[in-house]
Amino acid sequence: MDQDIVMRARVQLLSANRRVVRGTEGLRIYRLLTQVQPEVYGSKLAYVLVEASLSPLVQELPEQRLALLDEAVAVASALGTANPYRAEVLAKALAARRELEGRQRRGM
């Protein structure tokens, strides 16, 4: 991993001056930093992925929404059981995935 890219992502995160950076910027930053420190950034990535799946940009794209939620579930599942946010973000990702699947079944 290129350390300059990692450092730039950390600086962007700090300069955002928010607890969680959302949107495409957050996805990019957390995806990168989760590769380096999954226990630190994985829960935020999972959270932002679930939020992204609810975005109007993908509202009419169920396959993309499902892909975002699958990624959120995978990231949250990979967190260690000692991670204090694991259960919360995993439950949120699984609930969002179940809701999407239910909507898809009702729409068929």
Domain positions in the chain are: 3-107
What integer pLDDT is reported at residue 104 of this predicted model? 81
What is the average pLDDT across 30-40?
95
- Among the residue ranges 3-7, 40-44, 74-78, the one predicted with the least confidence is 3-7
User: Model pTM?
Assistant: 0.91
10-40: b (≥16 Cβ within 10 Å) or e: beebeeeeeeebbeeebbebbbbbbeeebee
**59-84 pLDDT, tens per residue?**
889 999 999 999 999 999 999 999 99
What integer pLDDT is reported at residue 13 of this predicted model? 86
